[in-house]
Copies of this chain bind each other. A is one copy, B any other.
Amino acid sequence: MLDDRKKKILQAVIDEYINTAEPVSSGTLVKKYNLKYSSATVRNELAELEGKGYLDKTHTSSGRVPSEKGYRFYVDELIKDDNISLEEIKYIQSKLNTKVNEIEDLTKIATTTLSEITHYTTVSIGPKTQTQIIQEIKFVLLGSRMLMVVIVTDSGLVKETIIKYNEDITESQVETLNNLFNSKLKGKPLSKIDKPMEEYILSEIQYSINVIKPIIDQINKIIEAEESIYLEGANKSLELPEFKSLEVVKNFVNILDEKDLMIDVLNSGLAKDINVYIGDENESEQLKDFSIVTFKHSVGNKDLGTIGIIGPKRMNYSKVISVMKYISKKMNMDLKMQNDIEKDEDKSD
């Protein structure tokens, strides 16, 4: 373990490095953090911290930069999570209080707000479909040859799709479809319609396979569709000093472009808490020079989406984590309240 002086010095080094992006010298530490030791003493401590793996040097006579182990210790032991100002809290409140009708919209607003306050690039995805339960499935005829299928889940997620036919669809057919699909799928998880179910539905229905098959295909398509990710503030990252190298910028743009990668990262985090991945802690080799901080927001055990920040390892973890915690808490409260009201009113019916 590290003694108090080492902790204090390590924290100072990392704080300073996060601020300036320059290797930190013993002299700077003594001056800026008015330590009551000489630079020589600090140098000895820095050498020991380096020996233990918490710090690195860029070359033999340079100042120190944090290692990944250093950042990890910093995140786990040294930072406070109340690094958020009253103005920031008010700003978040004003943003999140906007009335929205769909969860995804709330997630987007939160994602944008997070980027605005932290000045980092943020990404988000909507809720995982698999954990959702189908509450209602509704067929709507638009004109005579366009059929819209709307699926509503228990946590209020709405998915819809359209099917175009070459022949007219009648209202009575729509009625049959409504009854059939509701009786079969209501209360079931929102997952792909498998072969047995497909065959069952086909056997139940009295009219053409030409009507049913496109519906099943299209439902499977929207359920299995690649989740769409929402990205905010890609350009903000480019202003940071680590993006002075062309290699890094290209790498970063490629990462943001690679949607599957971002989706995996957002999905991999544990629910219920903030996940921090520093450099090599990321699953993907491509992300080894970046840090990612994510959180899922949910009501009960229903996943409602995941929001993340991606930035350099030299990230202002304290600010990021503080702001995320606040946003997470606020979203949870709002959604829970709304949920409770709905439930109360359901009972009073």
Contacts and interface: CB of A to CB of B under 8 A. Distances in A.
Given A163-B101, A253-B234, A158 B136 contact: no
B250 A218 contact: no
Contacts of A253: 234-235, 238, 249, 253
Given A101-B163, A253-B238, A136 B140 contact: no
Nearest to A254: B235
Nearest to A345: B166
Contacts of A43: none
Contacts of A235: 250, 253-254, 257
B140 A150 contact: yes
Contacts of A249: 238, 246, 249-250, 253
Copies of this chain held together in the complex: 2
Nearest to A145: B342
A244 interface: yes
A337 interface: no
B164 A101 contact: yes
Question: Chain A interface: which size bin?
Answer: 35 or more
Contacts of A281: none
A312 B278 CA distance: 36
B238 A161 contact: no
A250 B240 CA distance: 11
Nearest to A231: B257
Interface string A113-137: 0000000000000000000000110
A150 B150 CA distance: 11
A152 interface: yes
Interface string A19-33: 000000000000000
A140 B142 contact: no
A162 interface: yes
Of listed A101, A140, A166, residue having the most chain B CB within 10 A? A101
Contact of A135 (B138, B143, B218): B143
A77 interface: no
Contacts of A142: 136, 138, 150, 152, 158
Given A148-B158, A249-B249, 9 more contacts: A101-B218, A136-B142, A140-B150, A145-B342, A146-B152, A234-B253, A234-B257, A238-B254, A244-B246
Interface of A: 101-102, 135-136, 138, 140, 142-143, 145-146, 148, 150, 152, 156, 158, 160-164, 166, 218, 234-235, 238, 244, 246, 249-250, 253-254, 257, 341-342, 345
5 contacts: A142-B150, A143-B152, A146-B152, A158-B162, A234-B257
